Chains A and B, each alone.
Chain A
Amino acid sequence: MGRLAVNGVSKIFGEPDDPDSVVALADVTFEVPDNQFCSILGHSGCGKTTLLNIAAGFERATSGALTVDGAPIDLPGWRNTMIFQEYALFPWMSVFDNIVFGLEMKDVPRKAREDITRHYITLVGLDGFEAKLPYQLSGGMRQRVAIARALAVQPSLLLMDEPFAALDAQNRAFMQDELVRIWQREPKTVLLVTHSIDEAIKLSDCIAVMTSRPGRIKEFVKVELPRPRDEDDRSYIELKRRLRDLIRDDFVSR
């Protein structure tokens, strides 16, 4: 379960009456149905990461609220866990220990947490790498560990902050396909931040296009193309053009 509702979320950095204060988010409202994959698409500086940080409980909204199945999000925790661009693996823990960490924090009994960990190691394709330390892994493999670690705690809402931005183009495309495969096997409500139009189309059921200063939702686009998504498909190309125009308007108006 995990229906995400974003209700009139605003975020102002600094005191509201201070002329130097920055309105990062202005009255952002949208909904993501249970087990849907939603991307927030926008230029850097449009407030999309701020929105994600609020969803993760790292920052507080100045006004408005995020709820998952009606319950407000205010603190970080496994229910709204986040996958980071820099992977954020614990460097002293093996692949297995990284993935089991969240389950230990949840006080899952030993036997159960080891079974769950092994399940996710297999799901993300890391069999045989359980004992490796993060520095011994490639970037793509590190991000697999991060994905497994986040999925293992069974979040109601999975947050991703440009998870593949640090990878090279081939690896990125491959990991996007992998993410879709994993997500189809174990559907979750996902909120992913990206500035890549292709990434948003390839992964998402819905795309929230954001404009900057202040950050608003310019348009909320539903993607109804069948998966796996074909970049050469006409409707893919049309959607891509439409999204590009939406984003470019914002860039020109800045």
Chain B
Amino acid sequence: MATSPGGWLRLRLLRVLTALPNFILLAVLLVVWQIISKIWLPSIDPYMAVLMPAPSTIVVTAAGMIASGELFYNLAASLKREAVAFLFAASAIPLGIAMGWWRLAYHQINPIMEILRPIPPLAWIPLSILWFGIGDEQNEFIIFLGIFFPILVNTIVGVKNIDPILVRAARSLGASERRLLARIVFVGALPQIITGIRIGLGVGWMALVAAELVGASSGLGFLINDARSMLRTDTIIVGMLTIGIVGLLIDTAILALGRRLLPWSPAMRR
């Protein structure tokens, strides 16, 4: 089990190498795309070539946007909104624990949540603009709605699925209701809560871009919409790829954090 740092590195390298064949199709597609954009499309109609910039053009544009700080400025604006929205949406955790634990809370609050939940975050955009005006708060509100409900639903499920024998064991060892909630119910529901956070941040990230398309003067959504008005398809694609890659990174980071913090959970070990 215990390997030297060198052995670990070699293992990692080996893993990367064995994964390489998985990217053959991707590489082929990129080459085809490059040929189409650089040779075939310009030969038909130069305007069409503008609509579909080549991978090489995208890389050059991306490098320029990274160098000028434009990409990071907009990425930071988006991440900040996602983070602020998440802080507020984390209120779904105590609410979900209350709803999962006390029948009365569940029966009173659930009807309200069930009506609100199916409304897509984007449907809140008109009302939220009237409420908050155009700006960070309005954006964050839309993202908040995207993050909140997945966390809530998963927290409730997590609490309800706790093995009742653990609750009995804790009571039999003298745990008060408050300590039972903090030490057993909350911790026992954590794997499911982490799942909710992963789904929520993903939905929130999608809602974020949509919110920024409409009401923002910074952020990745703003970046790609702004580039549209100047026909900068290369900038649009760089923005889109950034949205995708950062979304993936957030998800991977939460999953890795879950694995590290909850090694006991079969759900995290999978």
Contacting residue for B172 out of A76, A86, A89, CB 8 A: A76
Residues of B within 8 A of A56 (CB): 168, 172
**Main SS class of interface, B:** helix
Residues of A within 8 A of B168 (CB): 56, 58, 76, 82, 84, 88
Contacting residue for A92 out of B169, B170, B175, B264, CB 8 A: B264
Give the number of chain A interface residues (Cβ < 8 Å).
26
Complexed CA–CA distance, A135 and B269 (Å): 12
Q: What's the minimum C-beta distance from A51 to chain B, rounded to whole angstroms?
A: 16
Q: What's the minimum C-beta distance from A88 to chain B, rounded to whole angstroms?
A: 4
Q: What's the minimum C-beta distance from A167 to chain B, rounded to whole angstroms?
A: 17
Contacting residue for B173 out of A86, A92, A101, A134, CB 8 A: A101
Residues of A within 8 A of B174 (CB): 77-78, 81, 102, 105-106, 153
In this assembly, does B262 line the interface, its C-beta being within 8 Å of a C-beta of chain A?
yes
Q: Are B173 and A105 in contact (CB under 8 A)?
A: yes
The chain A residue sitting closest to B179, CB to CB, is A105
Q: What's the minimum C-beta distance from B236 to chain A, rounded to whole angstroms?
A: 46
Contacting residue for B175 out of A105, A134, A149, CB 8 A: A105
Contacting residue for B165 out of A77, A84, A153, CB 8 A: A84
Give the number of chain B interface residues (Cβ < 8 Å).
22
A116-156 CB contacts (< 8 Å) to partner B = 133-135, 149-150, 153
The chain B residue sitting closest to A84, CB to CB, is B165
**Main SS class of interface, A:** loop
Residues of B within 8 A of A187 (CB): none
Most A CB within 10 A of own CB, among B166, B174, B190:
B174
In this assembly, does A174 line the interface, its C-beta being within 8 Å of a C-beta of chain B?
no
The chain B residue sitting closest to A159, CB to CB, is B172
Complexed CA–CA distance, A78 and B264 (Å): 26
In this assembly, does B263 line the interface, its C-beta being within 8 Å of a C-beta of chain A?
yes
In this assembly, does B10 line the interface, its C-beta being within 8 Å of a C-beta of chain A?
no
Q: Are B172 and A133 in contact (CB under 8 A)?
A: no
Most A CB within 10 A of own CB, among B168, B190, B262:
B168
In this assembly, does B12 line the interface, its C-beta being within 8 Å of a C-beta of chain A?
no
The residues of B with any CB-CB pair to A shorter than 8 Å are 163, 165-166, 168-176, 179, 183-184, 187-188, 190, 262-265
Closest 5 CB pairs of A and B: A102-B173, A88-B169, A78-B174, A105-B174, A76-B171
The residues of A with any CB-CB pair to B shorter than 8 Å are 56-58, 76-78, 80-82, 84, 86, 88-92, 101-102, 105-106, 133-135, 149-150, 153
12 contacts between A and B (CB under 8 A): A57-B172, A58-B168, A84-B168, A86-B165, A88-B163, A90-B169, A90-B187, A91-B264, A92-B190, A92-B262, A101-B170, A105-B173
